[in-house]
A and B are shown apart, each in its own frame.
Chain A
Amino acid sequence: MSAEEMGKVSRRQRATFAFVSVALVAVLAVSPVKDYFREWKRYERDYVRYAQARPDTKRLLADFHFGIDQIWLPEMKVVDRCTTCHQGITEASLRGPSIPQPFRAHPAVPHGVRDWGCVVCHRGQGPATEVAEAHETTLAWEQPLLAISYIQASCGVCHREDIPQTPKLNRGRQLLSELNCEGCHRMDGLERPAMLGPDLTSVGNKVSRAWLDKWLKEPYTVVDKDGNILVNGYETEGEPRMPQFRLNEQEIPALSAYLSTLKSLPAEPYKFDTRVVAALQNKPEVADLGEIRFRQMFCTTCHSVAVTRGGETKLIGGNIGPELTKVGSKVDPDWLIAWLRNPQAFLPHGLMPGYQWSDSDLYEVSRYILAKLTDADLLKNIPPRKGPGPDEVRLGHQLFQEKGCASCHLVQGVGIQKDFGPDLSNIGGKNVSQLDFGNSITPRNLVSYIRAKITDPLSVNTAARMPRYRLNPVDLEAITTALLGMTGSLSNRGLERLIIPRKSADFHPAGAFGKVYERYKCYVCHRFNGYGGTLAPDLSFEGSRAQRRWMIDFLENPQTLRPTLTFRMPQFNMTDEEARIAADYLVMVTQSPSVDLSVADPKRFTPERANLGKQLYEVRYQCQSCHTIGASGGYVGPNLSNAGNWLNGAWIEGWLKDPQTLVPGAIEPRRTFANEELEALTAYLLTLKQSSPPKAGAGGAQ
């Protein structure tokens, strides 16, 4: 090449050079163009346009700036960039379904967005800046957004104590404890007493082998074609606690053989007073008398029985104890009487109170149960079996352990099996890649996995040992919510210090009252300082509320204060001494700090004041809309006909001032009474007295 030619550039080279330059510029432009089209920038531009189209533009754009917006809470390890697109999240004027997403404001919840971020409750990926990565499961970002219908699970991560805002979560946790899931699975933070199944130590004395066969095949439940859970043919709302195990034709007889040999507590026939037997045994109506007594004693507060009314048969009664419609065909007569006389000898941790029986009551009620609560066809389809052979018993014992029966049931010689199933402490925090779906058609996400596993454990794992539970759709959602809330240790998320633990406030008084308390199982229905059931009134401050004499009368012969209630205090036939012990304890111990009984001066409650009080009660405040006096009034509050014998004056005044400080969650509204009105109303209520109600006993000799 000559020197002249070196300076020249051929046409072809020029063209190439020009093209490459253009290409280079284009390549260099890729980055800014790509940046311009980022999803979040588009949303930010849309937000500005949206805000400009509204009258409150100035407020909406006051804090706005282009760029990534993030909530950074180092202590909680929160870096949430959600507000980059969700610009209006804290603008009160953008609340409501008419505002387009992603600009809609968050509803007013107790935790502010700026203080907590978004991911703590909603899950998803806080640092992500693309819609799909923030909300869904992608290759690199596994945690999807939690559907709002399960959002209460997130409350449960920190709030181990039940809170009123999370009914679904609370129900789910209650189910986990009622179904004794903790028997097999480890679940941190549940911290409530497990509800064990019956003690089987002497089940061989209680039921026949044929009944065991039937039960093991079809425990408690049948499901009809519409998917309703049926108990003995009647639809029920309660959850059957015994799940269905997959047992084959060898396993059922083996287990029933083994169980029928368990007879460690002898059931000796009880010797009734011969005079009672002589008087009753030939009476044709003895079972009817027993039924009347059964109802008077309010056994149905805890047990349900099928009742036919107006051509429709349904279960009536509570679900604290088992359903009893066909129990007469189930239990051995001698066992039944031994159990009724002293249930705690069979089942110390059980919920059945130890009634004080007169022989005639016991005779009548047991005749009723054995004669009327029966079904001759109950065991019709069960093939007859020979006496249990040693091989069957051995196999049955082995199965009892292999199937995990010992996680719920006690028998002698087999310890309670803990951690029989997988640890569920972190089930709600699992990523999809950690779950084993097998070949199932279940959608690959955590919620579907949990729902499938509970509905049918075999659906995701054909070798699962877990038995099948029958949950109605509402309870399935509740239990799924509770499991989603179990996200294991929070120490790595910086949330540990935020945990509000569940208070375990066991209340088991010692001494004479302790004996009465345990015998009658007061805590199954009543609550004492946060411990116990919620079926009946909270007795934490009963000593401030009720007068001692009234308590004794009531315990000996409970007359309901709320006549419309289906569930009432059972008639325990408590002895006078037991009633005195209980009343003395309640008066001494269960006092509210805000009711001072010593300042209630009866002289203040004059007849004039009482007359004014009657006026206020009937005209000004119309208390009769909720309370009954005599024969008229409403059903919402307790009957006040005997308020003068029942309540303490100081309690009435304290109650009228502020009902909710004395009983949290009381229905009665708090009002602004003047002091004279308080005195007048109290004076009036204290004049309301009934003579003591007659002792119950129609049909039952005491």
Chain B
Amino acid sequence: MKPGAFTLVFPLLAFAILPACRQNSAPVAVESLGRAYDTELDWNDPQRVIPLNYQQALGKRVFYEKCVWCHADSTPAGPSNRSNLNPNPPLINDGATLNAVSDEFLQNIVTLGGSAMGRSAMMSPWGRTLTQDEILAVIAFIRVVAQPPYQPSVQPKSQYTGK
């Protein structure tokens, strides 16, 4: 009787406990899937592929439609207008310049134009052409392609930093 009872009970107990042992095995596999919505090649190093999330990819699209003409050295249509302008507009991946300014400043200068922010009037106001979501997306794109890489100087307090 005794061995019989054990053969009955033991597997059942084991079966009950098993699922608890399967901790965290599956989510790892999910994380390893291709997670980039889009990619951009690093302008300084074409071997380096920068993964973009949805918002950054939206920013990339807006950038290549509206901004690339003056904030890049080559454009989809050929030469750039950048060298033509004085002062020279910064390249979009110019981290040395753009990492120093805040998101709010970038949002304002894109929305209201250069003259409203005390900069060159050659920078047009885009607030009536682009939506605020699109402008924030462009800023997200600026941050992700920045060379040297962008590190927000002031970490947002606990709200966004998890446990």
Contacts and interface: CB of A to CB of B under 8 A. Distances in A.
Interface of A: 16, 19-20, 23, 26-27, 29-31, 33-34, 37-39, 42, 50, 53-56, 93, 96-102, 107-109, 130-132, 135-136, 145, 147-152, 164-165, 167-168, 562, 564-566, 620-622, 625-626, 633-636, 660, 665, 667, 669-672
Contact of A620 (B5, B17, B121): B121
Contact of A660 (B30, B129, B133): B129
Contacts of A670: 128-129
Contacts of B81: 625-626, 634-636
Contact of A34 (B15, B53, B54): B15
The 10 closest A-B pairs by CB, nearest first: A149-B34, A625-B122, A131-B26, A147-B34, A37-B20, A30-B16, A636-B69, A107-B54, A670-B128, A147-B33
B36 interface: yes
Given A37-B20, A39-B19, A635-B84, A136 B129 contact: no
B108 interface: no
A130 B79 CA distance: 54
A672 B61 contact: no
Contacts of A131: 26-27, 30
A80 to B, nearest CB: 16
A107 B125 contact: no
Interface size class of B (residues with CB under 8 A): 35 or more
Given A27-B9, A33-B16, A636-B81, 9 more contacts: A23-B8, A27-B12, A30-B13, A50-B163, A99-B160, A148-B33, A167-B38, A626-B69, A669-B125
B9 A26 contact: yes
A150 B81 CA distance: 34
14 contacts: A19-B5, A26-B13, A34-B16, A42-B20, A107-B53, A107-B55, A135-B26, A151-B37, A165-B58, A167-B38, A622-B121, A635-B79, A669-B125, A669-B129
B35 interface: yes
Contacts of B37: 148-149, 151-152
A671 B129 CA distance: 8
Nearest to A50: B163
A1 B159 CA distance: 78
Contacts of A56: 159
A133 to B, nearest CB: 9
Interface in B95-126: 120-122, 124-126
Given A620-B121, A634-B84, A149 B133 contact: no
A39 B22 CA distance: 9
Contact of A672 (B35, B122, B128): B128
Contacts of A150: 34
B2 interface: yes
B46 interface: no
B69 A667 contact: yes
Which of A30, A109, A151, A168 has the most C-beta atoms of chain B within 10 angstroms of its own C-beta? A30
A33 B34 contact: no
B142 to A, nearest CB: 17
A17 B160 CA distance: 58
A672 B129 CA distance: 11
A10 B36 CA distance: 72
B61 A164 contact: yes
Contacts of A626: 69-70, 81
Contacts of B159: 54-56, 93
B36 A148 contact: yes
B47 interface: no
Contacts of B69: 626, 635-636, 667
A97 B55 CA distance: 12
Contacts of B31: 101
B133 A108 contact: yes
Given A23-B5, A565-B78, A636-B69, A54 B17 contact: no
Nearest to B126: A669
Contacts of B9: 23, 26-27
B73 interface: no
A378 B119 CA distance: 59
A565 B81 CA distance: 12
A97 B29 CA distance: 17
B1 interface: yes
A152 B33 CA distance: 15
Given A93-B160, A167-B38, A145 B16 contact: no
B70 to A, nearest CB: 7
B125 to A, nearest CB: 6
Given A19-B5, A30-B15, A670-B129, A564 B34 contact: no
A34 B120 CA distance: 67
B153 interface: no
Interface string B34-60: 111110000000000000011100100
Contacts of A54: 158-159, 162-163
Contact of B122 (A93, A565, A622): A622
In this complex, the member of B8, B30, B38, B120 whose beta carbon has the largest number of chain A beta carbons within 10 angstroms is B30
A480 to B, nearest CB: 11
A373 B80 CA distance: 31
B38 A101 contact: no
B38 A168 contact: yes
Contacts of B78: 564-566
B66 A667 contact: yes
Contacts of B85: 625, 634
B30 A621 contact: no
Nearest to A628: B84
B134 to A, nearest CB: 11
Contacts of A667: 65-66, 69
